[in-house]
Amino acid sequence: MKILVDSSGWIEFFSGGHLADRYGHYLKDPSNIITPSIVLYEVYKKIKREYGEETAVLVAGQLNSTKIIPLSESIALFAADMSLQHGLAMADAIVYATSQDQGARIVTSDADLKDLPNVVYMR
């Protein structure tokens, strides 16, 4: 099964947080990872703000070694439905809809996603 590591996971991994090693386990094979374009946006923005542009560009390069999934019309509409059904914020709904569209399991520390099907939640 494909893996979708959401923004919280990438940020935890790159910032060396207490869950970095656990996320690292899922990040070993970039060819098996999908990344919604909104995750690329969120991770780049957070890393640039906290660590500077040079680090953010390096991080973006690593995310680009995964399969980047753009926000298509069908994923956008599915995300809107998921938002209404599960009470998700826009970015979370896009991430979840992308994972479902691509047949991927989400790995996250985002509590808003923890009870949804095909989600591996890390505390």
Global pTM reads 0.94
* pLDDT tens track for 43-95: 999 999 999 999 999 999 999 999 999 999 999 999 999 999 999 999 999 99
* pLDDT tens track for 4-20: 999 999 999 999 999 99
**Residue 36, domain extent:** 2-121
Contact 6, 107 (CB under 8 A): yes
Number of domains in the chain: 1
The CA-based angle 56-83-45, given to 5 degrees, is 10
Residue 26: give its domain's CATH number.
Answer: 3.40.50.1010
Report CA torsion sign: 31, 78, 90, 110. Answer: negative
Contact 92, 113 (CB under 8 A): yes
| Token pair 């809809």: residue | 97
